[in-house]
A and B are shown apart, each in its own frame.
Chain A
Amino acid sequence: MPRTIIPFGPQHPVLPEPVHLDLVVEDERVVEAKPSIGFVHRGLEKLVERKDFVEFVYVAERVCGICSFIHGQTYCQAVEALMKIEVPPRARYLRTIWGELSRIHSHLLWLGLMADAIGFESLFMHSWRVREQVLDLIEATTGGRVIFGSCKIGGVRRDLTSELVERLASALSTIERDTRDLTGVFLGDRSVQDRLCGVGVLSSADARDLGCVGPMLRASGVESDLRCTGYAAYSELDFTRATRPEGDSYARCAVRCEEVFQSIDLIRQALARLPDGEIAVKVRGNPNGETFMRTEQPRGEVVYHLKANGTRNLQRFRVRTPTFANLPAMVKVLQGCGLADVPVLVLTIDPCISCTER
């Protein structure tokens, strides 16, 4: 059967960020997919040679727009591990609250994009309407909608006043109610189920083998969530990992929906237990040594590998983002799928290409 090569991306209505795929198709069946990236490569890893390690937190935040706070938080945690800095408890709780707000916003964004990919425009608009409420909360507490600018080495830069805490608590109830309406449609509507069920099935052995992380892994039945290692305030909060055994796109959608509610619950717990105290400690000296720091971003596990040699500039800053780890899985599930399922499968890994390419 003759094969055609169809180029997908870098500009495509379903893609949040540019990635190029060369799809080798026979009739309507995709036989092979060859990715190529490099459209948003900014060389941020090299920038560490010129910016000193205290200022670099602003660069680390800007690796990605959707997962920006947790990038900044992981960078700060890594440098704090190198310099043996103990972050005050209030700062750890604040970082957790902002991290979970970031996760809610990211998952609502993804839900909207998935609805858009299957053609359900009104559901996409409603998901982003709920996301606007989260962005307003983030702007009220940190000052920025997308780039928070509130993490620094040694703690956080902004505090939550008691009225902001109340505002958060009441807004969360509205967001929870609105999200229940949305997830009712995402998981209950027959047309969504027709597009998502049975598409891109990944067994748990395959998911582990291919190095998947995050909801991709959890939706294939593997219980793995880095928040259980207890960084920031997670050791003092309780939550259950959201897993599903089926391993198809519907399961991944369900895992992400469940994680939104889990995050709302985590924020409520953190607000109830928010300790008093200072929000940052002073940083003195330069970092020295090497460390690996891993946290759970909305898309999965991010690994920061930092090497420092006692000067103001770090020697090496290496970020292994979750989408990079999920890309081989995307290439694998694309083999043998129908051409109309390609947008669903590309979005099901929750691609954040600016993270991938830094």
Chain B
Amino acid sequence: MAYFAMSKLALKWAFARPCTTRYPFEPRQALPGSRGRLVFTRDNCVYCTVCAKRCPTGALAVNRAQKRWAIDRLMCITCGCCIEVCPRKCLELAPEHATPVVTKDRESF
């Protein structure tokens, strides 16, 4: 048995369903608590700029005069600090991960 210690595992998995997800043909199930991407709801925002100040990477840029809220997706580490300080609850983390980005633009609302 010392030479074929793997045989039990190998036989079992030869006849079992694969444990991998056949992505992209099967969708990936996001786990509920996952920190996927930051979602901004514009309706309640008063552009107080507190989220931008609290962001540890500087991914957020808020302009009160022009009523613009922008996020640099590549800098965002989905830490959730902005969510903790937002007084109007405009921000939340969605569990689905963002689609890959190819440019370094800021996304503005």
Where the two chains meet, the residues of A that have a C-beta atom closer than 8 Å to any C-beta of B are 51, 55, 58, 120, 122-123, 126, 129, 132, 136, 139-144, 147, 149, 157-158, 164, 181-182, 184-185, 188-191, 193
Q: Is the CB of B34 within 8 A of A139?
A: yes
A184 to B34 Cα, complex, angstroms: 33
A69 to B10 Cα, complex, angstroms: 34
Q: Residue B98 at the A interface, CB < 8 A?
A: no
| Cβ–Cβ < 8 Å partners of A147 in chain B | 77
| Cβ–Cβ < 8 Å partners of A120 in chain B | 6
Q: Is the CB of A188 within 8 A of B2?
A: yes
Q: Is the CB of A143 within 8 A of B93?
A: yes
How far, in Å, is B93 (CB) from chain A's closest CB? Answer: 7
Q: Residue B101 at the A interface, CB < 8 A?
A: no
Q: Is the CB of B33 within 8 A of A51?
A: no
Q: Is the CB of A185 within 8 A of B77?
A: no
Q: Is the CB of B80 within 8 A of A181?
A: no
Which residue of B3, B8, B35 has the most chain A CB atoms within 10 A of its CB atom? B35
The residue that A185 contacts in the complex, of B9, B32, B33, with Cβ under 8 A, is: B9
Q: Is the CB of B2 within 8 A of A141?
A: no
| Cβ–Cβ < 8 Å partners of A143 in chain B | 33-35, 78, 80, 93
Q: Is the CB of A140 within 8 A of B2?
A: no
Q: Is the CB of A136 within 8 A of B80?
A: no
Contacts A140-B33, A189-B2, A189-B3; A181 near B93 (Cβ below 8 A): no
Contacts A139-B34, A140-B33; A149 near B80 (Cβ below 8 A): yes
Q: Residue B56 at the A interface, CB < 8 A?
A: yes
A94 to B90 Cα, complex, angstroms: 29
What are the 4 closest A-B residue pairs judged by CB atoms, nearest first? A143-B35, A55-B56, A189-B5, A190-B2
A157 to B57 Cα, complex, angstroms: 18
- Main secondary structure on chain A at its contact with chain B? helix
| Cβ–Cβ < 8 Å partners of A144 in chain B | 34-35, 78
Q: Residue B79 at the A interface, CB < 8 A?
A: yes
* A and B contact pairs by CB, cutoff 8 A, 23 listed: A51-B56, A123-B6, A126-B9, A129-B19, A139-B31, A140-B34, A141-B33, A142-B33, A143-B33, A143-B80, A143-B93, A144-B78, A147-B77, A158-B33, A181-B8, A182-B9, A185-B6, A185-B9, A188-B1, A188-B5, A189-B2, A190-B2, A193-B2
A123 to B78 Cα, complex, angstroms: 34
The residue that B10 contacts in the complex, of A58, A122, A164, with Cβ under 8 A, is: A122
Contacts A51-B56, A157-B80; A136 near B9 (Cβ below 8 A): no
| Cβ–Cβ < 8 Å partners of A184 in chain B | 5
A149 to B31 Cα, complex, angstroms: 16
Q: Mark B1-41, 1 if CB is under 8 A from A, else 0.
A: 11101101110010000010000000000011111000000
Measured CB to CB, the nearest residue on chain B to A189 is B5
A144 to B76 Cα, complex, angstroms: 13
| Cβ–Cβ < 8 Å partners of B56 in chain A | 51, 55, 58
| Cβ–Cβ < 8 Å partners of A55 in chain B | 56
Q: Is the CB of A58 within 8 A of B2?
A: no
Q: Is the CB of A58 within 8 A of B5?
A: no
Measured CB to CB, the nearest residue on chain B to A188 is B5
Q: Mark B44-71, 1 if CB is under 8 A from A, else 0.
A: 0000000000001100000000000000
A129 to B8 Cα, complex, angstroms: 16
How far, in Å, is B73 (CB) from chain A's closest CB? Answer: 16
| Cβ–Cβ < 8 Å partners of B32 in chain A | 140
How far, in Å, is B97 (CB) from chain A's closest CB? Answer: 10
How far, in Å, is B24 (CB) from chain A's closest CB? Answer: 18
How far, in Å, is B77 (CB) from chain A's closest CB? Answer: 6
A80 to B34 Cα, complex, angstroms: 28
Q: Is the CB of A58 within 8 A of B79?
A: yes
